[in-house]
Amino acid sequence: MSQSLSIRRVAGALGAEISGVDLSRDLPDETIAAIRGALVEHQVVFFRDQDLTPARQTAFGRRFGPLNIHPYVQGMEGHPEVMEIIKEPSDRINFGGGWHSDMSFLKTPAIGSILHAVDLPEWGGDTLFASQAAAYDALSPGLKATLEGLSAVHSASREYSAQGHSAQKRGAMQVAEADGYVGEYVHPMVLVHPETGRKALYVNPAFTLRIDGWKTSESKALLDYLFNHCRYEAFTCRFSWTKGAVAFWDNRSVWHFALNDYPGQRRHMRRVTVDPWPAAQAVAAE
């Protein structure tokens, strides 16, 4: 089955479209390995015309690791791992409408996200992706050396608080406020990919609060520089959705941005998020 896969690169920095596979089937291990290989090489992979029920989407996601249950966004009834990402025609703010890396605000961040298009606007609603590996590669040797000795503090407090601007202000999704119980977790600012050994920047505007051990005011100049650098057009690709399309991206090296350019229209997506295997299982999988 894996030999029938066709992988077409879509941009210079990241992204590939895979055809010749039906993700709703119980795929053999060699096909899953081929998809995983394409994911770690291209950082985000795309599939068209996939007929995925929530159960089929979760079954596919579990082939890559245990699935995350979002701590603030309520999942589907009967499928708590499936997040319904819906923007109704009356909504003005969309979910994910800013550059970010999913779940970096957790102690153990997710490794990947799998998004399936259910209902799309007539136009608009594309998603942008940015390679943080390419962003790291483009830095000067001096800045690379500086960043490799630093870590940053991540938290959901801005996005999921009562004052948050992304998830709280729409009726189509049930979101619990993070006020009072959200945590802060420290991650290296340069992440070494465990499967490729390639280095990537690991900060993002949505969830990175400050550099660990620095004041927020001291952190601002460097973080603002990195946030601007990391979204440079040459590090990006853009995906135009079609009904049934799937995007699978590697949160360890990719930012994404859901464009909010379809006023008065409905957009309905379903996402599952893949966590890393526990250490013992990861060794066994190798």
How many helices and strands, by DSSP H and E, does the chain display? 6, 15
Residue 97: count of CB within 10 angstroms of its CB = 16
* 269, β-bridge pairs: 85, 117
Residue 178 contacts residue 160 (beta carbons within 8 Å): yes
**What is the maximal distance between C-alpha atoms in the chain?**
54
Distance of CA 229 to the CA centre of its chain: 19
C-alpha 72/C-alpha 240 separation (Å) is: 28
Q: In what order do the strands lie in the sheet with 184-188?
A: 184-188, 151-155, 208-211
Specify the amino acid at residue 138: A
Q: Which are the catalytic amino acids?
A: 100, 102, 256, 271
